[in-house]
Structure 1
Amino acid sequence: MADSSERPTPPEGLPPTIVDALTGCTPDELRKAIVHAQELLHFHGEAELPVEAEANDDILRVTEHEGYTEVVKQFRCADGCDDCPHGPYLYHVTEEPQPDGSRKVHWSFMGTVQAQEE
């Protein structure tokens, strides 16, 4: 079981009743809640924002905000780089509608994250 002092902070705007309900869930119940929340997003016509690490990326933190997802990640470049990993770097990720009706994920680089911020 995880240390309760390390409990994640809920995203801005999430109603306290939902925070309380989720906090009391088992890992299996949380996985089922995620599946149901994704189904509800699709029902409302919104797709899940695909924030996934690429081959040489390590995603350190993902925080949902109104209108964007905050992602902190670092990356490793070619073998033999003495400075690897690089980062961590902060990005704001949005899903933008395209003229053809599709949606495209857009990563905006915000800057380097200082050690005390991480």
Structure 2
Amino acid sequence: MTDPTDGPTPPEGLPSGLAADLRELSPSELRATIVHAQELLRSHGETDSPIEPEPGDDILRVTEHDGYTEVVKQTRCADGCADCPHGPYLYHVIDEPRPDGSHAPHWSFMGAVRTDDE
């Protein structure tokens, strides 16, 4: 296994013991864990992640929080834009109920952010 300091930071709220166990899994075992976790979410009535990039979006970071998903993304517009990409911008995304009983992601623009590269 690689040095744990080289890997991604576990999301807020993930028990440290579980994060340590996940670091020890092979890619195949991690994929099976993702499938099982998604099945468990559906059994609790949860839907899949509302984060689906639009054409021209570059998702830089997705962080799950209690009650919302934090997304940092850049946006590319039509060809010929000298200022592309635009951003990065921070959004908070929630799974919003609709009057017909369905759910849809609601993206709230929070503002421009700096990335580690800047």
**Residues 1:70 and 2:66 aligned together:** no
SS in 1 for 2:51: coil
Cα pair distance change 1:5/1:92, threshold 3 Å: same
**Aligned-pair distance for 1:117?**
8.2
**Structure 2: stretches of 5+ with no match in the other structure:** none
Cα distance in structure 2, aligned partners of 1:67 and 1:84 = 32
Equivalent in the alignment of 2:51: 51
Between the two proteins, the alignment pairs up a number of residues equal to 118
Residue aligning to 1:84 = 84
Query: Identity across aligned pairs (percent)?
Result: 65
Shift of 1:55: 1.1
Cα offset, 1:111, TM superposition: 0.4
Gaps of 5+ in 1: none
- Are the equivalent residues in 1 in contact too, given 2:50–2:95 (CA < 8 A)? no
SS in 2 for 1:14: coil
* Structure 2 counterpart SS, 1:100: coil
CA contact (8 A) 2:50 2:94 kept: no
2:103 partner amino acid? R
Q: CA deviation at 1:115?
A: 3.7
Distance 1:111 1:3, change over 3 A: farther
What letter matches 1:39 in structure 2? E
Distance 1:115 1:42 in 2: 33
Secondary structure at 1:42 match in 2: helix
Runs of 4+ off more than 6 Å = none
Structure 2 distance, partners of 1:99, 1:115, is: 37
RMSD: 1.9
Q: Distance in 1 between matches of 2:98 and 2:78?
A: 34
CA distance in structure 2 between the aligned counterparts of 1:87 and 1:55, rounded to whole angstroms? 15
Query: Is the partner of 2:21 in helix, strand or coil?
Result: helix
User: By how many angstroms is 1:5 displaced?
Assistant: 3.6
